Amino acid sequence: MNQAASYLCPMEDLLKQIQNYKQEISSTVAVDPDSLEAYRIRFLGTKGIVKNLMGEMRNIPAEKKKEFGQVLNEFKLFAESKYETWKQSVTGSGLQKEASGSMDLSLPGDPLPLGTRHPISLVRNRIIHIFGRLGFSVAEGPEIEDDWHNFTALNLPENHPARDMQDTFYINRNPDWLLRTHTSSVQARVMEKQKPPIRIICPGRVYRNETISARANCFFHQTEGLYVNEQVSFADLKQTLYFFVQEMFDKDVKIRFRPSYFPFTEPSAEMDISCLICGGKGCQVCKHTGWVEILGSGMVHPRLLENFGIDSNKYTGFAFGMGVERICQLKYRINDLRLYSQNDVRFLRQFTNAI
């Protein structure tokens, strides 16, 4: 071996060794604390391979020191990062504890935070269930409505004073669009597509431009009902709603109808139930009348049926609309509408399984 070859040899040899060590590390997995520690001592310990290779630096000729230094440094980082990765998986996953038998498998698990149903959802689902038993199916419609379905088709032409009963949010981009003010718009959409018999309820959110307070909000929830068939009478309306309140509240609840006005029904009536708080004797909730109003209703106006090509000589129908928050208020004694949208879990948690 000549002179030149003899001082090149250690570096080549060392590079080969480093290559082999890298392969060895790559094919190794430390799965328990003992093998991890053995790895640390062999490669990273004070008398370990990395330290030894560092010591070889002095045998490397000056002009090669930089190159060898870089390879060595890279190898050192490689060996250290493997160690850190294994260390995390060995200690972090609990394998260490398991291996030493110190994990107590009988301990209870960490509790999972479970959500609860919103009172509005609970009441809406109950309404759907009760009317479902009477053969009503659920129909839905868009919250951004057009003038026709929300007003005109329901016998509320432009400039009709009854439009003022519902302060409306209009959409800037198109004066014909609005946020529906009631779920009666779904009645219109169903009659447009379906021929009698029609028996639907339409639960959903509605919007009105009102100042937010304990008694008003800019949105709330309604459930509309519609039954159109041959020979549907006011007696059917009465009995259907009577069944509903008995199921929803209590068998002893009484109902009464007061004449009213809605453009889409004729005759129209508001329905009250006997006060659940005082049983009809008179209290603050019923303003000492013994009765609380819960919904609007009536016989579908013949003009509506004709608007949708339904023969009003052959078919009649009844409709009603109720506020879900109102039913909630009576059922759970919630007296501030704002509570429904504040998302305070201490409030929301109180109603699970209460229905």
CB of 257 to ligand DAH, least distance (A): 12
Strand order of the sheet with strand 144-146? Answer: 144-146, 174-179, 170-171
The distance from CA 140 to its chain's CA centroid, rounded to whole angstroms, is 18
Closer to ligand DAH by Cβ: residue 141 or 296: 296
Closer to ligand DAH by Cβ: residue 50 or 241: 241
Measure the CA–CA gap between 303 and 316, rounded to whole angstroms: 11
CB of 234 to ligand DAH, least distance (A): 12
Closer to ligand DAH by Cβ: residue 119 or 296: 296
Instruction: Count CB atoms within 10 A of the CB of residue 215.
Output: 11
Closer to ligand DAH by Cβ: residue 79 or 190: 190
CB of 121 to ligand DAH, least distance (A): 20
CB of 176 to ligand DAH, least distance (A): 20
Residue nearest ligand DAH (C-beta atom): 321
Q: Which positions touch ligand DAH (CB under 6 A)?
A: 182, 184, 224, 262, 264-265, 296-298, 319-321
Closer to ligand DAH by Cβ: residue 240 or 297: 297
Closer to ligand DAH by Cβ: residue 146 or 224: 224
For the chain, what is the largest distance between any 2 Cα atoms, rounded to a whole number of angstroms? 119
Token pair recorded at residue 2: 């000549």
Token pair recorded at residue 269: 């009536």
Measure the CA–CA gap between 17 and 11, rounded to whole angstroms: 10
Token pair recorded at residue 230: 């041959």
Instruction: Count CB atoms within 10 A of the CB of residue 257.
Output: 17
SS3 percent helix, strand, coil of the chain, rounded to 5, is 45, 20, 35
Token pair recorded at residue 209: 């431009």
One-letter amino acid identity for 257? F
Closer to ligand DAH by Cβ: residue 119 or 298: 298
Residue identified by tokens 């490689």 is 78
Residue identified by tokens 């160690």 is 83
CB of 347 to ligand DAH, least distance (A): 26
Strand order of the sheet with strand 255-262? Answer: 137-138, 198-207, 219-229, 316-323, 291-300, 265-274, 255-262
Measure the CA–CA gap between 121 and 187, rounded to whole angstroms: 21
CB of 322 to ligand DAH, least distance (A): 8
CB of 113 to ligand DAH, least distance (A): 37
Closer to ligand DAH by Cβ: residue 72 or 295: 295
CB of 181 to ligand DAH, least distance (A): 7
